[in-house]
Amino acid sequence: MAIGTGDKAPALDLEETVDAPRIQLSDYLGRSNVLLVFHPFAFTPVCTEEALDLQENLASFRNANTEILFVSCDTSAARQAWRRELGAEYTFASDFWSHGANAKRYGIFDDASGAALRGTFLIDTSGTVIWSLVNDADTRRAELVSESLETLGGEEDGARPAAGRSDGT
């Protein structure tokens, strides 16, 4: 069962790059909110759309004292290559080893595909999940940006879909 709104967020242990310190949820506690966004695979169309939506709205998240952690079970090298290709300026983290351990703690690992579902968890500075959304691997989270920003007290109308799409889907 997936972690939900009101639950204490489980610990995180993610890799951004092989030679950097691992990312822990405790790094953010008392300092900033975290939008933890799990997705199935890098370099795929729906995941790319979601990544671009987040980048287009990065300033709104930062203005709301919120760091974005975009996570899949791909290797950290693949994650960083994809981040550079997209020109993203937020954290792309790897849950590769031990394989899917973080997605499992959040209740969103799909054993059949060996990947995370589309799980999104907005975690406040005290470590409590204040908004969550879980979709299957094939269903895009159209409400990802608008609803999370609304929860943070941001202007929903200020959220923009990724470039090239005017309908937000």
- Of the candidates 159, 120, 160, which has an alpha carbon nearest to the alpha carbon of residue 136? 120
Catalytic residue among 3, 23, 37, 47: 47
Instruction: Indicate if 47 belongs to the active site.
Output: yes
Q: Say whether the peptide bond before residue 98 is cis (omega within 30 degrees of 0).
A: yes
Tokens 């269903």, residue located: 139
Return d(Cα 147, Cα 91) in angstroms, integer.
20
Query: What are residue 23's DSSP bridge partners?
Result: 14
| Residues with active-site annotation | 47
